[in-house]
């Protein structure tokens, strides 16, 4: 049996979001009791904030009401999440779900290749 781990990473990726940028990293399954249902990551309850907080690694050009750069602290993350500010929590959680879907798609494509071949089906 072959496992393709060449493209898997815990590193975050920068995404444009409005006038700013968000650095979002995948959520490791070993960190929490998340559920995978029909190939999708399902996050519920308290786990949503845990996933959001972990995965939102950094941001750039996000400012407060006085146009000063807003430092991404745990307290700021909690307020952004609790009050669903600017759609950031939904954006981050959707990116995390898309990481999981991409991983599942890669694994499916890899596993449906010809027996004995390391060639991936695209």
The residues near 82 (Cβ < 8 Å, ≥ 6 apart) are none
Q: Work out the average pLDDT over 85-92.
A: 96
Say what the pTM is. Answer: 0.73
Between 109 and 48, name the one with better pLDDT. 48
Domain ranges of the chain: 13-101
In this prediction, residue 32 carries a pLDDT of: 61
In this prediction, residue 98 carries a pLDDT of: 84
The neighbour count for residue 104, using CB atoms within 10 Å, is 15
State the Cα–Cα distance between residues 13 and 57, nearest whole angstrom.
9
Burial class (CB in 10 A: 0-12, 13-18, 19+), 105: exposed
- How confident is the prediction for the chain on average, in pLDDT? 81
Q: What share of the chain is helix, strand, coil (3-state, %, to 5)?
A: 40, 20, 40
pLDDT tens string 33-74: 656 666 666 666 668 899 999 999 999 999 999 999 999 999
In this prediction, residue 86 carries a pLDDT of: 95
The neighbour count for residue 52, using CB atoms within 10 Å, is 23
């Amino acid at each position: 049996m072959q496992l393709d781990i060449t493209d898997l990473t815990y590193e975050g990726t920068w995404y444009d979001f409005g006038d700013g940028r968000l650095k979002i990293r995948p959520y490791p399954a070993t960190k929490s009791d998340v559920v995978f249902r029909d190939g999708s990551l399902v996050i519920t309850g308290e786990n949503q904030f845990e996933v959001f907080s972990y995965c939102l690694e950094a941001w750039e050009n996000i400012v407060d009401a006085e146009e000063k750069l807003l430092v991404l602290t745990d307290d700021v993350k909690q307020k952004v999440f609790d009050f669903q500010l600017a759609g950031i929590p939904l954006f981050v959680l959707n990116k995390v779900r898309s990481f999981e879907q991409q991983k599942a798609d890669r694994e499916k494509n890899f596993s449906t290749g010809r027996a004995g071949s390391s060639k991936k089906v695209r």
